[in-house]
Structure 1
Amino acid sequence: MDGDGLYVYAVVGDGTALPEGAGGVGDPPAALRVIGTGKIAAVVSDAPARLRARRRDLLAHQDLLMDLADSGPVLPMRFGMVAPDEDALLTQLALAERSHLATLKNLDGHVEVNVKALPAQDSLAEVVAEDAAVRRLREAARRRPGYEASVRLGEAVASALARRAAEAGKAVLRELAPLARAVAAGPDVQGCALNTSFLVPRGHSERFRTTAEGLADARRSHVDIRIAGPLPCYSFVGDAGAPRRPAAMTEG
């Protein structure tokens, strides 16, 4: 990113105030401002030069979105979204005003909680006891040890662990789904059997997390459940769970 253009954090309703003391990405933090047209607006700053996905900037971006959500609905942009200039951004906001207003209404009062299911790596003994195919391959590897036998055994164990994680993860998701307004499957993540996000009423997010943690603990011998949130509602914005991005915007 060369520092030209406007860094776009979010689309919000007209009249949304910036959180007190908030700053943007960059070092020092970029000054924030709100520009709008009609009934919607965008929270922006000048795009910093040489912006990279450093932890400091990722957190600044996400923290701002969560602070904005404390006072009203937010249509979040992914990290690194840049519009070429103010006129281009205002034009795109005007063209998308109707759909953005509908999305803001849908997200009002909600947060996202993400749940990932990973294989429980400390359950090898249970896998061997329960899976006949793994037992046969282990015995074969003991009788005739070698590279190919070890590879086949390793693949079988990994497959069995992933299958157990997926089955247990689906059971957890079935119990969590009634607590959410909407559920969205996330993209494939290496090492994850399941990656799912939930749209949860803001006032119920702690209850949701507590319930999810209890379910995860009850199934820890089968699956490692990772819970993240509350988060900005990235997974419930636009088509196919992706944020709507004005055509004039690019990712830096």
Structure 2
Amino acid sequence: MAVYVYAVTRREHPCHLDGLTGVGSDAPPVRTLESGELRAVVSDVAEEVRPRRRDVIAHQAVLDRLMADGTPLPLQFGYTAPGDESVRQVLEERAGSYLDALAGVQGCAEYNVKAGQEESALLRDILDGSPRASSLNEEILGGDTDPRLPLELGQLVSAEVELRRSDASAELIRALAPLARAYVVHPPTGEDFLNLSLLVPRDGERPFLDAQAGLGLDAGPAVRTRLAGPLPPYSFVP
């Protein structure tokens, strides 16, 4: 039977999984498979796995339980294998890389910081700080119909937005990266200009959270940050 794989841990990880049911409509029990120094946390699955609310919650519940006793290598939702032996084979073949990765995340959790900026406040700041942009804007508002004016203003504003957001991203990374063991910058989505994942030691979470609480004050006008975590270290799995 196919198995759904939640995470890889070291063999000595407690894996307190009693009472947990896994992904799938039949709510199978969650169990472990061992190979050498490693364990895989799995459950049987007899159907196509889709991101239904119940299954996403079940997946996360397993990772939350594992995180309570240490740091696993989490797999993204939806990973399945043909059977127990195929999982053991992968553990054996990739033992070195899994053990190295587990050593890298030991005692840590992932935090994700997203940053965005209120567009109207940013545009006001650009117009206030750029004499040329302010002049162009006044000419356009005053009724000048020269088509070159809005084109030049648009190019100027676009370049300034890109520069300021790049500077703000660098400032936020400089503030937080020293408090993390590692970090990854993901492509931002929507109106965000920064999507940053950090691997933070659990014994260093308070300084990190204090620093994050003060973010945006020096990063630019109307910069807003959003924090998620502590999370399993999805961004730091090889």
Same fold? TM cut 0.5: yes
Higher Cα Rg, which structure:
2
> Following TM superposition, by how much is the alpha carbon of 1:171 offset from its aligned partner in structure 2, in angstroms?
1.1
Cα distance in 1, alignment partners of residues 58 and 100 from structure 2: 27
The AA in structure 1 aligned to 2:109 is: V
Matched, 1:139 2:120: no
The AA in structure 2 aligned to 1:99 is: S
Match of 1:9 in 2: 6
Cα distance in 2, alignment partners of residues 72 and 127 from structure 1: 47
Match of 1:128 in 2: 127
SS where residue 193 of structure 1 aligns?
strand
Q: Please say if residues 115 and 194 of structure 2, whose CA atoms lie closer than 8 Å, have aligned partners that are also in contact.
A: yes
Name the CA shift for 1:83/1:186 in 2 (closer, same or farther; >3 Å). same
The AA in structure 2 aligned to 1:25 is: V
Q: Show structure 2 runs of 5+ residues with no match.
A: none
Cα distance in 2, alignment partners of residues 73 and 121 from structure 1: 39
Matched, 1:63 2:67: no
> Following TM superposition, by how much is the alpha carbon of 1:149 offset from its aligned partner in structure 2, in angstroms?
7.2
Out of 14, 29, 45, which is 1:47 matched to? 45
Q: Please say if residues 120 and 220 of structure 1, whose CA atoms lie closer than 8 Å, have aligned partners that are also in contact.
A: no
The AA in structure 2 aligned to 1:166 is: S
> Following TM superposition, by how much is the alpha carbon of 1:94 offset from its aligned partner in structure 2, in angstroms?
0.6
CA deviation string 1:171-213 (max 9, x = no partner)? 1211212211122222443433222221111132243123212
Match of 2:90 in 1: 92
Pairwise mapping of residues 102-251 of structure 1 onto structure 2 (< 5 A)?
102-123=100-121, 124-132=123-131, 134-142=133-141, 143-144=143-144, 157=157, 160-217=160-217, 219=219, 221-238=221-238
Q: Please say if residues 74 and 234 of structure 2, whose CA atoms lie closer than 8 Å, have aligned partners that are also in contact.
A: yes
The AA in structure 1 aligned to 2:213 is: E
> Following TM superposition, by how much is the alpha carbon of 1:216 offset from its aligned partner in structure 2, in angstroms?
3.0
Tell which deviates more after alignment, 31-40 or 188-197: 188-197
Tell which deviates more after alignment, 142-151 or 81-90: 142-151
Q: Please say if residues 122 and 221 of structure 1, whose CA atoms lie closer than 8 Å, have aligned partners that are also in contact.
A: no
Cα distance in 2, alignment partners of residues 101 and 115 from structure 1: 27
> Following TM superposition, by how much is the alpha carbon of 1:113 offset from its aligned partner in structure 2, in angstroms?
1.1
Matched, 1:22 2:20: yes
Cα distance in 2, alignment partners of residues 148 and 81 from structure 1: 54
Out of 14, 32, 35, which is 1:34 matched to? 32
TM-score (norm 2): 0.83
Q: Please say if residues 13 and 73 of structure 1, whose CA atoms lie closer than 8 Å, have aligned partners that are also in contact.
A: no
Give aligned-pair identity as a percent.
Answer: 34
Q: Please say if residues 71 and 232 of structure 2, whose CA atoms lie closer than 8 Å, have aligned partners that are also in contact.
A: no
CA deviation string 1:2-23 (max 9, x = no partner)? xx72111101112432344333
The Cα RMSD (Å) is: 2.9
